[in-house]
Structure 1
């Protein structure tokens, strides 16, 4: 079952009382416990609408029943609610984030989570309606990009690979390079917004020259592939998205979902659904 719901941020008070801890890759919870297809175990999962919830819906329709689980999929549009909902027990697992993002969330908010292996990669992409290539980008062009630190530097690395920024380090941000002539030779002007708002600004604000867009929002906004100026390489990309659950989670249902996410059927579904390469199976 798939539903769209803006989950209440019910766990905020508890959230900040937690102590910080590591969120490293952990072995999935034991899948040895028996699951009964005749009486499936419900697994509540929060996920970004596309591609995450879409992948989960494929599993729910094609694979879950025989595996003895029944997915309750909640679509969540932002990047804060899924971890809050997981921490406070509203959901059993979430599927939307990368290692770098989770590490930052654990360090700043004290979550106690484990996670599985990478399922898919969504390359960050630079779009432009005004410029056909990096060489034609004018001095002072406006760039709209993600305001969360982890994905922001990741997006700035794509701009760097296109020759629009230079000599970045992992601590850089739009703010630190804004007036740095060496790192920002074209004097790009950065506009920081929530990740889900980047496509809207790109599509509706005529002053925007470039937009760095997360892969799932590229799909949702149906952006034109002909407007791609640069894209993150998928080769050896460490930014795979994975399933996350509370630390010490022993649910057989979550373990089975983790197993199904890495099935040949899911990998083939990803390849044949996003043929333009906006979503690719992790390797």
Structure 2
């Protein structure tokens, strides 16, 4: 009986050790899974920014990084909310807040990144001083981007805006002085690069300018972009303090990230924290 009891004890001990080994393997597997990160971005400059300036830094920290590209501005936030993404990069603060409110989501910005500014482009005029009386300028027909266009024109000295108007919502009705008697032609934002061929001037948002292969530095005037309009890395609010969120933020704050921006994203306006 003693021998049988001893044999059972040995068998039980091996079973416990095997179970502990399996648990250790599962824990190890869990740690490996934690080093996977999926970031969504719209195709074009911001997917490029993730691939060229963020992904390599995270890979050096041991992450396996998957970049998912989107062709619209709706799916990246829905995919994030469902847990298909750990973070996304494509939107500014105003869009994020409005989208989150409309779809009842809890989204938060992680960090603001360099963003392609809106610019005034022309094939007729080589510099601002050449702009003639009564010149036509195509501007975005949506209120948010139209406000940006009017602010650029004010910065360039062509118009004056009502100082009491909200700078984020200014429109043609807020123009108190139009020194060159510019003619404003509102059109769909995506059509603004093509409008350069048919009007004297065109106020083109940075993402559409880059998609049309414009050189940002060819603009007669680039906007002094309000911080609210700069794109940011966005995460689900509940994930703000996760390790992966902290590592993405640290990657963007690194000198290596800024060097890639300086070398490969010329003309992008840097956020206040980078200045």
TM-score (norm: length of structure 1):
0.69
The counterpart of 1:262, out of the listed 247, 253, 260, is 253
SS at match of 1:157: helix
Superposition RMSD on alpha carbons, in Å? 3.3
Q: Distance in 2 between matches of 1:142 and 1:38?
A: 58
TM-superposed deviation, 1:270:
0.6
Q: Distance in 1 between matches of 2:257 and 2:121?
A: 28
- Kept in 2, the 8 Å contact 1:47–1:95? The answer is yes
**Deviation per CA, 1:110-154, whole angstroms, max 9, x where unpaired?**
442111122213332111111233444345533333344333312
Alignment partner, residue 235 of structure 2: 245
TM-superposed deviation, 1:98:
2.4
Alignment partner, residue 192 of structure 1: 187
TM-superposed deviation, 1:225:
5.7
* Correspondences of 1:216-255 after superposition (within 5 Å): 216-224=207-215, 227-233=218-224, 239-249=229-239, 251-255=242-246
Distance 1:207 1:242, change over 3 A: same
The counterpart of 2:73, out of the listed 79, 82, 87, is 79
Alignment pair present for 1:52 and 2:46: yes
Count of aligned positions: 240
- Kept in 2, the 8 Å contact 1:35–1:68? The answer is no
Distance 1:259 1:225, change over 3 A: closer
Q: Which runs of 5+ in 2 are unaligned?
A: 1-27
Q: Distance in 1 between matches of 2:90 and 2:251?
A: 16
SS at match of 1:72: strand
Q: Distance in 2 between matches of 1:53 and 1:104?
A: 23
* Correspondences of 1:47-126 after superposition (within 5 Å): 47-59=41-53, 62-107=56-101, 109-126=103-120
**Deviation per CA, 1:201-237, whole angstroms, max 9, x where unpaired?**
33xxx32222222233333322256742211237x85
TM-superposed deviation, 1:36:
8.8
- Kept in 2, the 8 Å contact 1:165–1:183? The answer is yes
Alignment pair present for 1:159 and 2:153: yes
The counterpart of 2:201, out of the listed 206, 210, 213, is 210
Higher alpha-carbon deviation: 150-159 or 223-232: 223-232
Q: Distance in 2 between matches of 1:75 and 1:107?
A: 24
Q: Distance in 2 between matches of 1:144 and 1:83?
A: 30
- Kept in 2, the 8 Å contact 1:270–1:280? The answer is no
TM-score (norm: length of structure 2):
0.71
Q: Which runs of 5+ in 1 are unaligned?
A: 1-33
Q: Which has the larger radius of gyration?
A: 2
Distance 1:111 1:148, change over 3 A: farther
- Kept in 1, the 8 Å contact 2:70–2:76? The answer is yes
Alignment partner, residue 268 of structure 2: 278
- Kept in 2, the 8 Å contact 1:130–1:209? The answer is yes
